[in-house]
Amino acid sequence: MMNINAILDKAVAGERLTPGEGLALLETHNLPALGRAADAVTRRRHPENYRTYNIDRNINYTNVCTAVCDFCAFYRAPKSDEGYVLPREVLLKKVEETVALGGDQILMQGGLHPDYKLDWYEDLLRDIKSHFPQVNIHAFSPPELHHFTKVCKLPIRTVLKRLKEAGLGSIPGGGAEILVDRVRREITRGKVMTDDWLNVMRVWHQLGGRSTATMMFGHVETLAERIEHLERLRQLQDETGGFTAFICWTFQPEHTDMADIPPAGSFEYLKTQAVARLYLDNFPNIQSSWVTQGLKIGQLALLFGANDMGSLMIEENVVAEAGTVHFLTLRQIREAIEELGFTPRQRNVHYQLLDESWERRALAANERAEKDRREGQLLQLA
């Protein structure tokens, strides 16, 4: 039996945990102790008096997908009547609305569409950058990028270089789920496996790119497999240093083919995030997942290892399709940070702070938009 306090002391002192020690922490039910240790590590790494957030929008350019993921309520098969590809003018309008609300980035992801070649995605990127050169395009998760190599019969380095030249700014960590092939085979078909997911990120980092890393847990994985996931990420970060942040969230089972799995609760979320902060000693930032957890647990996550509240998330479709819809205003996000004694600051994808005048304009724009939304709801009720 490992001594949990000794493991926590080791992590707080900045020493690297072993997989066995990480597993011991996941197996403990001493949530307060995990939280205190994770918070101590966060405050050592981020002694500044602020905590951050960003403003972006999750634009899902298509829901058509050749993969079959039992955990996904969003995708539609290629011949489904409910499949869509966003018209370009609609997509550009969504970017315009994001910019108007103070956003400097869009998160753009879609299904694995069987028909489009790489030039279609290059044209999409160039079109966005020509209209909004100041916006970072955080787009195309590793499953999509690996899919492009199959459809186009091109190596991943060529795919990534061409997309980077066309305007791709950074890569989201989506589609990781659990980076263990046993788990991936059980919950998905036709989707990238562990080594190829990691290699997409490896090559992107070698090209000078930056990306985030994620974990969706609380389904068929074991606790040891959660640690294996963290270990694979930590090893790649040792190699490349290209990950800016880690974000984890609990599987949302409603409306999926895995709806019989009991949802993991707030205890499991906070525990896993705290362990991730202690284990991922080479990751600079941890994001809260209020989108799946709601305001109060999302706020509490800032005391369990997170130093960032994540995105305002003007639009979110994938998690919403599974029945989980948490909406926060910019004011609520900032107040959640302030209630914990920190100054809220808006940042970009590289975790650089934006100018405070930008923040003030964004806050004013969001408050006007919220006022218009409330007045519209009152008119509908009248």
CB 97 within 8 A of CB 84: no
Greatest mean pLDDT among 4-18, 80-94, 187-201:
4-18
Tally of domains within the chain: 1
**Which structural domain, as residue segments, surrounds residue 252?**
62-381
d(C-alpha 284, C-alpha 42), whole Å:
9
d(C-alpha 305, C-alpha 171), whole Å:
23
Q: What is the pLDDT of residue 214?
A: 97
Structure confidence at residue 324 as a pLDDT band (50, 70, 90): low
CB 351 within 8 A of CB 284: yes
Q: Which amino acid appears at position 35 of this protein?
A: G
Least confident of 84-88, 175-179, 320-324: 320-324
Over residues 303-321, mean pLDDT: 76
Residue with tokens 């190599």: 149
369's CB contacts (< 8 A; 6+ apart) are 101
pLDDT at 314 over 80: no
Structure confidence at residue 318 as a pLDDT band (50, 70, 90): very low
Q: What is the pLDDT of residue 1?
A: 65
Report yes or no on 289 lying in a domain. Answer: yes
* 189 or 221: which leads in pLDDT: 221
CB 235 within 8 A of CB 198: no
Report yes or no on 341 lying in a domain. Answer: yes
Q: What is the pLDDT of residue 325?
A: 58
Q: What's the pLDDT tens digit per position in 56-72? A: 988 999 888 877 776 67
pLDDT at 14 over 90: yes
Report yes or no on 45 lying in a domain. Answer: no
Give this prediction's pTM.
0.93
Report yes or no on 179 lying in a domain. Answer: yes
Q: What is the pLDDT of residue 269?
A: 97
Structure confidence at residue 323 as a pLDDT band (50, 70, 90): very low
Q: What is the pLDDT of residue 72?
A: 75
Greatest extent of the chain over all pairs of C-alpha atoms, in Å: 64
Report yes or no on 25 lying in a domain. Answer: no
250's CB contacts (< 8 A; 6+ apart) are 216, 217, 218, 263, 264, 265, 268, 269, 292, 293
Q: What's the pLDDT tens digit per position in 270-283? A: 999 999 999 999 99
Q: Which amino acid appears at position 246 of this protein?
A: F
Tell me the two tokens of residue 110.
């879609």
Report yes or no on 36 lying in a domain. Answer: no
Q: What is the pLDDT of residue 382?
A: 56
DSSP conformational letter for 355: P
Q: What is the pLDDT of residue 378?
A: 64
Q: What percent of the chain has pLDDT over 70?
A: 94
d(C-alpha 255, C-alpha 267), whole Å:
23
pLDDT at 371 over 90: no
Alpha helix ranges (H) inside 46-175: 88-100, 118-131, 142-152, 156-166
CB 130 within 8 A of CB 374: no
Report yes or no on 42 lying in a domain. Answer: no
Q: What is the pLDDT of residue 70?
A: 63
d(C-alpha 221, C-alpha 198), whole Å:
19
Report yes or no on 337 lying in a domain. Answer: yes
Q: What is the mean pLDDT of the chain?
A: 91
CATH number of the domain that 78 lies in?
A: 3.20.20.70
Q: Collapsing DSSP states into helix, strand and coil, what is residue 3? A: coil
pLDDT at 235 over 70: yes
Q: What is the pLDDT of residue 6?
A: 97
